[in-house]
């Protein structure tokens, strides 16, 4: 558990540009705490420079022993994207994060890929886009679409992230998502 907490803190520090949390970058911390998965996506292309910054956040995610086992497949082809997320809109991008192994028992690689997923998810939101993580299509993708998506040999998908425009950078449905109470999911041993 200590390693997971360390990885999460490292991910947050990387997301904050390597700076410790302070008054100047508390907006990034608010982003992590206050935002949830987008649901009200709009049509519209994401500029290449923004998409590159979002992908760079995944590439720079922390990983165990710095192995960086992930591979990112960026799907901008809407026909292909709709095979994975049926309600995908024109201009929305699907990013498939995959890692070596079967995607079920390769725990260290799955954790590393999950850190990259979170970095991508948060970077998209920091740039004013909606982002949503999907795991439901993973079994189907791994069973029948690896070749079509050009996943590297021996890799399996771990998660998808949908990134797209949202109304004015705000998604009212997302902000209404309920969360468990902190006291129901955290135990302090002092």
Mean per-residue pLDDT, 7-34: 55
Q: Does the residue 182 lie in any domain?
A: no
Give me the pLDDT at residue 179, please. Answer: 76
Residue 186 located in a structural domain: no
What percent of the chain has pLDDT above 90?
64
pLDDT, position 187: 87
Can you give the pLDDT at residue 169? 61
Q: Work out how many domains the chain is built from and give that number.
A: 1
Q: Is the predicted pLDDT of residue 2 greater than 70, yes or no?
A: no
Q: Exposure string (b/e) for 110-139, b if CB count within 10 Å is 16 or more?
A: bbbbbbbbbbbbbbbbbbebbbbbbeebbe
What pLDDT is stored for residue 178 in this prediction? 74
| Domain span including residue 39 | 2-169
Q: What is the model's pLDDT at position 42?
A: 94
For residues 179 and 43, which has the higher predicted lDDT (pLDDT)?
Answer: 43
**Burial of 23: CB neighbours in 10 Å, binned 0-12, 13-18, 19+:** exposed
Confidence category of residue 9, pLDDT binned at 50, 70, 90: very low
Confidence at residue 34, expressed as pLDDT on a 0 to 100 scale: 66
Contact 94, 120 (CB under 8 A): no
The pLDDT, as a whole number, for residue 181 is 87
Give which of 22, 6, 10, 34 is closest to 176, Cα–Cα. Answer: 34
Is residue 85 included in any domain, yes or no?
yes
CATH number of the domain bearing residue 143: 3.40.109.10
Predicted confidence (pLDDT) at residue 20 exceeds the cutoff of 70: no
In a domain, 51, yes or no: yes
Report yes or no on 89 lying in a domain: yes
Please check whether residue 178 lies inside any domain of the structure. Answer: no
Q: Residue 144: inside a domain, yes or no?
A: yes
pLDDT of residue 39: 78
pLDDT in tens, 122-164: 999 889 999 999 999 999 999 999 999 999 999 999 999 999 9
Question: Is there a domain that residue 180 lies in?
Answer: no
């Amino acid at each position: 558990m200590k390693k997971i907490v360390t990885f999460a803190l490292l991910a947050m520090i990387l997301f904050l540009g390597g700076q410790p949390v302070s008054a100047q970058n508390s907006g990034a911390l608010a982003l992590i705490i206050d935002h949830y998965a987008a649901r009200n996506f709009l049509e519209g292309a994401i500029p290449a420079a923004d998409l590159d910054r979002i992908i760079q956040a995944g590439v720079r995610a922390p990983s165990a022993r710095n192995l960086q086992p992930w591979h990112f497949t960026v799907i901008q082809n809407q026909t292909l994207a709709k095979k994975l997320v049926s309600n995908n809109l024109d201009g929305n991008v699907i990013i498939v994060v995959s890692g070596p192994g079967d995607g079920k028992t390769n725990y260290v690689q799955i954790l590393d890929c999950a850190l990259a997923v979170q970095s991508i998810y948060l970077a998209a939101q920091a740039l004013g886009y909606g982002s949503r993580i999907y795991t439901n299509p993973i079994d189907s993708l791994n069973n029948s679409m690896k070749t079509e998506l050009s996943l590297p040999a021996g890799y399996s998908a771990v998660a998808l992230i949908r990134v797209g425009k949202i109304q004015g950078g705000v998604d009212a449905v997302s902000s209404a998502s309920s969360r468990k109470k902190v006291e129901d999911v955290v135990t302090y041993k002092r």
